[in-house]
Amino acid sequence: MKQDGEFILTLLHAATNAHILHLRSKSFSEHMALGTFYEELPGLVDAVAEAIQGLNEELIEYTFDYYSPADTALEELQSLKEYVSDKRKELPKESEIQNAIDEIASLIDSTTYKLKFLK
């Protein structure tokens, strides 16, 4: 369950980091894309956490390590995409959990598209 907590906490930190990058952005399109991302991500993460806790019938254990945002929003999202792709393999394989993670991956992909092509 500790890997579950690390996954959830990393994603919650990603929302905070996106918010920081949103506030530092000098690009309107980047500002808006990150705004949508940091507003939507916590609810999606909450759904994964609650589903895992319901499946396992126990509360997730959390570590309390924080990582700083990347230098750019695109680097932050690309790093997060790799993290989610790698770490999801260690999480429960039940379709409802993996589908909830798919929603997060989709948000990351959509935001990456906006950051890369909608300038």
Each residue's pLDDT tens digit, 77-113: 999 999 999 999 999 999 999 999 999 999 999 999 9
| pLDDT tens sequence across 20-49 | 999 999 999 999 999 999 999 999 999 999
- Residue 12 to residue 27: CA distance in whole angstroms: 24
Residue 32 tokens read as: 């808006």
This prediction has a pTM of 0.95
Confidence (pLDDT) at 24: 96
Confidence (pLDDT) at 67: 85
If you ran DSSP here, which 8-state letter would residue 70 be given? P
Is the pLDDT at 69 greater than 90? The verdict is yes
